[in-house]
Amino acid sequence: MATILIFVGLALLAIEVAVLGFSVVILFFIGIGCLLTGVLIFFGILPATLSSALSGVAVLTIASAAGLWKPLKKMQNSVEPEEVTSDLIGHSFVLDSDVSHTQYGLHHFSGIEWKVKSESEIAAGTEVEIVKTEVGELTVAAKRN
């Protein structure tokens, strides 16, 4: 019984971390509960019965969730977003329409219709270069020659 619980606990932890990327946290807590219950049964602290195994897993899962929830949440929130870099930055093209921070234009590139915006007003026919990319959106600036 102890070996099975330890194996199941390790398998759940591996699935949570390696396969799911720590996104379904409940498997992590159940894995810890199974692992600790298996260790307690192995050392004879808990009897090797189905009811004690199920009770141990339930209690230790809840205890690990209660004890680790805040530290894990704090760790998750401490990740700083990184600026996305793109091969499109520096690409030049000529604007088909006027753009500004309030007026968007469109640019067809690589099979996608991109929304084009700028921090300053730029007239149609001006050569611009991409300075920032977001999903479906290009931020451009007038190209300096």
Give the CATH number of the domain where residue 107 resides.
2.40.50.140
Percent of the chain with pLDDT over 70: 96
Mean local confidence (pLDDT), 58-75: 91
pLDDT for 1 beyond 70: yes
Q: What is the pLDDT of residue 79?
A: 65
Exposure string over 110-123, b if 16+ CB within 10 A, otherwise e: eeeebebbbeeebe
Classify residue 27: in a domain, yes or no.
Answer: yes
Is 12 in the same domain as 41? yes
Q: What is the pLDDT of residue 122?
A: 92
Q: What is the pTM of this model?
A: 0.54
Classify residue 85: in a domain, yes or no.
Answer: no
Classify residue 83: in a domain, yes or no.
Answer: no
Classify residue 87: in a domain, yes or no.
Answer: no
Is 65 in the same domain as 100? no
Q: Which domain holds residue 62?
A: 2-77
Mean local confidence (pLDDT), 94-110: 89
Residues 29-46: pLDDT tens digits? Answer: 999 999 999 999 999 999
What Cα–Cα distance (Å) separates residue 43 from each residue in 4, 40, 48, 52, 59?
Answer: 14, 5, 10, 14, 18
Cβ-based burial of 63 (10 A; exposed 0-12, middle 13-18, buried ≥19):
middle
Q: Considering 77, 101, 131, which residue would you say is the last residue of a domain?
A: 77
Classify residue 11: in a domain, yes or no.
Answer: yes
What Cα–Cα distance (Å) separates residue 7 from each residue in 59, 63, 65?
Answer: 19, 20, 20
Mean local confidence (pLDDT), 86-110: 88
> Could you give the number of structural domains in the chain?
2
Is 68 in the same domain as 97? no
